[in-house]
Amino acid sequence: MAIQVPGKRFGKRLQRSRVFGKGKLNAKRVMTADLLITPMVDMFVIIVLFLIANFSATGDVLNITKDIRLPEAVNVKDIELVPVVMISNEQVLVSGTVIGRVEDLSREDYLNIPALEEKLRDMKKQYEDLHALANEESGKFKGDVNIQGDKDIQYKILKRVMYSCMTAGYNNINFATQTASAPKTGEQQASVRGL
Amino acid sequence: MAGGMGGAELGPSSSGKKKPLDTTINLVPFIDLMAVTISFLIMTAVWTQIGRLQVSSSGGPSDNPDDNDKTIPLTLLITDKELKLTAGTSTFDPIPVIRDAKGRIDLTRLQMRIKEVRTNLPEQAAITLQPEDNVRYEDLVRIIDECIGSGLPNVSVAAAIG
């Protein structure tokens, strides 16, 4: 006969019982639990696919701040990494440098903003010097600039910024916008409804 | 997917015993890879989709002299009250600015006008916008977007005169 641990010993009939067989006194419950791997791996796969579908190789080109709410547009092109002029309701900035306050600029009657022009000229010279050192043909200055303006700014300020950009040699002006989904036409809406 | 994969059983081997083909895939490195990929993608994710609308400074007809008889100077004067489209020497009736509950301009009538112009001049690709000083940037962007969407990709912006 096998040696058994001292303690209560139930008869064979009771050992088979669900109540007494498992719930006997001083019995240690099995503490291991099986982890269901299948749903976890499924979830991982879905998350990875979703994130890859939303992956953008260009990354964050613009510094999004809460002061600047971009307008929405549908027919847009991909944004490129070029100098950015930020226009909020408070101030005008270029590459993080404050150029002036919107309130002051809107009071002036000049067409250009001299500080902005100077800054952009410096940036252009810096770009050209850098690419001249590298002897790059592809790195020719194209004059691209992004204007990241708040949707509530007035054209009066925008006009001065655009004029300054063009005077400084940045002729290809791009307005940064938030990409909106194209509105559905009547036929598309009807087909969605199953009509 | 996870767990034991059902294995197929081939015919009896030379020794006469059936060789079990069930194998267990080791999921631990797969889950590790997934976790690292998810972390990387979340860190590099760009949640706001930003685009650009290209505008030029000088508008008017195409530089190509052959196109001069096929296109005309198309100008849109934008004020806070109305939109006035001029095609060459003819001026259309001004379109009153109607806004929705969100304050966005209704551009349906402008879209129809541009389509009308495009029907008569299919080669027309340029339009010059002349906003007044008090026009909001959002309205200007929406009008540029509408022009590009209606088949006028060469949008130039100039200051309104007068």
The domain of B151 spans 65-157
**First-to-final CA distance of chain B:** 72
Residues forming beta bridges with residue A144, ordered by sequence position:
A172
Please report the pLDDT score of residue B35 as a whole number: 92
Domain CATH code at residue B117: 3.30.420.270
Per-residue pLDDT at A190 exceeds 60: no
Please report the pLDDT score of residue B48 as a whole number: 75
Residue B136 has what DSSP assignment?
B
Number of domains in chain B: 1
Per-residue pLDDT at A124 exceeds 60: yes
What does the pLDDT look like over B48-104, one tens digit per residue? 778 888 887 654 444 455 555 667 888 889 988 888 888 888 888 888 888 888 888
Q: Do residues B96 and B82 make contact, with C-beta atoms less than 8 angstroms apart? A: yes
Q: How many CB atoms lie within 10 A of CB A185?
A: 9
Class of residue B53 by CB neighbours under 10 A (exposed 0-12, middle 13-18, buried 19+):
buried
Q: Do residues B104 and B142 make contact, with C-beta atoms less than 8 angstroms apart? A: yes
Contacts of B35 in chain A (CB under 8 A): 44
In a domain, B133, yes or no: yes
The domains of chain A are located at: 72-179
d(CA A125, CA A48): 43
Q: Among A155, A162, A175, whose Cβ lies nearest the Cβ of B52?
A: A175
d(CA A174, CA A193): 38
Query: pTM here?
Result: 0.71
Q: What pLDDT band is residue B14 in, cutting at 50, 70 and 90?
A: low
Q: Tell me which chain B residue has its CA closest to the CA of residue A38.
A: B2
What does the pLDDT look like over A33-86, one tens digit per residue? 777 888 888 999 999 999 888 777 766 777 888 888 889 888 888 888 888 999
What does the pLDDT look like over B26-53, one tens digit per residue? 888 988 999 999 999 888 887 777 888 8
Q: Among A146, A151, A179, whose Cβ lies nearest the Cβ of B137?
A: A151
Nearest-CA distance B143 → chain A (Å): 9
Q: How many CB atoms lie within 10 A of CB B70?
A: 13
In a domain, B19, yes or no: no
Task: Say if A149 is an interface residue toward chain B (CB within 8 Å).
Answer: yes
Complex confidence, ipTM: 0.70
Q: How many CB atoms lie within 10 A of CB A65?
A: 12
Residue B7 has what DSSP assignment?
-
Q: Tell me which chain B residue has its CA closest to the CA of residue A74.
A: B145
Task: Say if A184 is an interface residue toward chain B (CB within 8 Å).
Answer: no
* B2–A41 C-beta distance less than 8 A: yes
d(CA B49, CA A78): 9
